[in-house]
Chains A and B, each alone.
Chain A
Amino acid sequence: MADTGVLELLRLIEKADDGVDSVDAASRLGVDHQVVVGAVKSLQSLGDIISAEQRSSKHWELTEEGSEIAKQGSYEARVFSAVPLEGLAQSDLMKLPFGKIGFSKAMSNRWIKVDKAQEGGPRVYRSVRIIVVDQVREKLLLLQKGSGSQLEDKDKNELKKRKLLSEVTVKSYWIGKGNSFSTTITKQETELTPEMIASGSWKEKKFKPYNFEAMGVAPDCGHLHPLMKVRTQFRQIFLEMGFTEMPTNNFIESSFWNFDSLFQPQQHPARDQHDTFFLSDPALSHEFPQDYLERVKRVHSEGGYGSQGYMYDWKIEEAQKNILRTHTTAVSARMLYKLAQQEKFTPVKYFSIDRVFRNETLDATHLAEFHQIEGVVADYGLTLGDLMGILHQFFTKLGITKLRFKPAYNPYTEPSMEVFSYHEGLKKWVEVGNSGVFRPEMLLPMGLPEDVSVIAWGLSLERPTMIKYGINNIRELVGHKVNLQMVYDGPICRLDS
């Protein structure tokens, strides 16, 4: 519909007191109903110019056959007229296009009769003299005039059955004036342009409203990996707490630094082929601080520093074996040894978050490599209460405030404590980390002062990340089987919320 058509519709509405039906409007404007519907929709998009309420109505309409009958008369009436007074051979009657239906209807109306005994086959005669009232035609004409309401439903259904009549549903609008009704409309702009800004014409223009229901266009951007986002947050927490980052970029470690320096005996199950990845090339480490190595050997095999030792034959060959480090505590050991070599001891707080390796059986939550988070504090006179206090501060930053501690065993810490937090969802205490005070058999051979205590704790990076991002299978998070859509869709990481 041209704009003028819209204007005509608006004028029509202006004149109508409480509105106009779109079907009515179409006939008054002499256009198809669909054209009016189009005009209504386009006016609706311009704001509150008109009000349009959708309604539907049913009415009866003659079918093509029905219209024909209304014009020509019913088949039965036509059969009656076709039969002359002297009668007509039934076979001839049947040749007429309306013959079959008209014959049976005229028969049941008793307008005609058949004499089967005639020569040359059955013959049809009129059984009434005068022309009868063609009720079917009368009813159809009534409906055509729009006076169908005078008919009974029974009649309508009868006609419907004869496919002369059909019931149609018409969807139309009841159109009235909107709050900002006007018979003149200005064309709406879709977007603000530089020209409008320059000329100031935007002040005069009306703008097409936006559809705020639709989604925006996704920005073309890269994404950080969720595990690395969580790592960044843990780094941040440690830095906020004054912890210095340890250089953990050495995945290959000697058994000496990974186990022996930590007072982990050489027959310990963790040093088994089943638990640890050993190297065939380079198979052995060669350089060790000799006098320190001797002290380590002695404390394992004979004791000392107040310890009974493990009383076994400590072998350098076992200590030399290269492995993929099983924990970052190997780096902590190197750092503490280095610290002990300082002329004067200074307190330190260290942390690291890096990969460790276990030759373990893999499942939905275990991989052969994972990230270990570790914190270490060395100072004079640290207590078990201090360790709990630091752990409390650390976990508070993760949004975990309810903690309790369970005695545990670890070869290089004594006391050792497992850290449990109360999980509100699961309604139970779950293990969230491990902690302890490093044994004197580990610290004293390094040369640290006797009254220095070193407290430490560790946890995995993967587990809190899986909980945070609701991931059940670790392979969807780490490694090449990662679900990139998950990476794309991941929210920012705030551990305390």
Chain B
Amino acid sequence: MAVNYNAKEEADGHPSGVGASGGAGKSRKPDNTAFKQQRLPAWQPILTAGTVLPAFFIIGLIFIPIGIGIFVTSNNIREYEIDYTGTDSSSPCNKCLNVSWNSTPPCTCTINFTLNQPFETNVFMYYGLSNFYQNHRRYVKSRDDSQLNGDNSSLLHPSKECEPYSTSENKPIAPCGAIANSMFNDTLELFRIDNETRIPITLNKKGIAWWTDKNVKFRNPSGNTNNLTALFQGTTKPVNWPKPVYMLDSEADNNGFINEDFIVWMRTAALPTFRKLYRLIERKNNLQPTLQAGKYSLDITYNYPVHSFDGRKRMILSTISWMGGKNPFLGIAYITVGSICFFLGVVLLVIHHKYGNRNTSADIPN
């Protein structure tokens, strides 16, 4: 500290005599720049009732129609939801309530339901789980993204984050980790009942995952063969899976790590009650709605136990608008906020006119 100042003194070239003080003087004069004198040109806005009130009005006027628009859109979305957990003893799936992972033959059940209104546009089929903590920290981190990205060394040496789901029977698990291990494996099939005949409805299983996930983030291991079985040589299936990862689907571009059901599952949900996209039902032609009003039946291959943690399973059919699925929150919020703004605008305007107008004198800010 001390001689620091000493050095400075020397650098300054301290005048050694009385008369010499003028020598170094010139350079010491502060520059007359706007910045150094804190006189930069500046915009000095003042929030006054005069500027804010119209803004509130305008915002209110914008928000209310937006809110109404969203609300109407959301209300026009058709959504049908079936809870098929089977906790209720009258439910057809009640028999499957306590299934375990490896029960053979798999427990199946069928739920009939009626759609009162037709689903005109493309229909999206979701499965929903409740009380399932996909966002638990231990769960979220239990994956190896480089393995899923097709990295061959990670395939055989999964990250230790996957513990306790990284090896089984001394073989590395592919895909490792708790998320993959607990992949949802109920099979849902939809039939339209037309005069007692069950017409299967085509469920499209592609196009349900993010494009970037399917094409970049998830990749099968590489090698000089296209045979997935060979590529996954040396690994074993996750403990809870009935079949290994290379047998998830018959189609090559939907098999292994790039299986879309798997990719969807691997995107961990934000909240313990969540839905995930399961299948797409595309509109066949413009004449008929995708799903007509009428009777339907849902065939469930019930493999996924949720009862043990008090969970729930749902199947959701939903159409989609430009804003996504049915969500009344946004519309209501916009309408509310817009109304409050408008109301406040009116109240403030009254106050302003009553009290504020008399003093238009120049204001010293703040």
Chains A and B are bound partners: no
* A interface residues with partner B (beta carbon < 8 Å): none
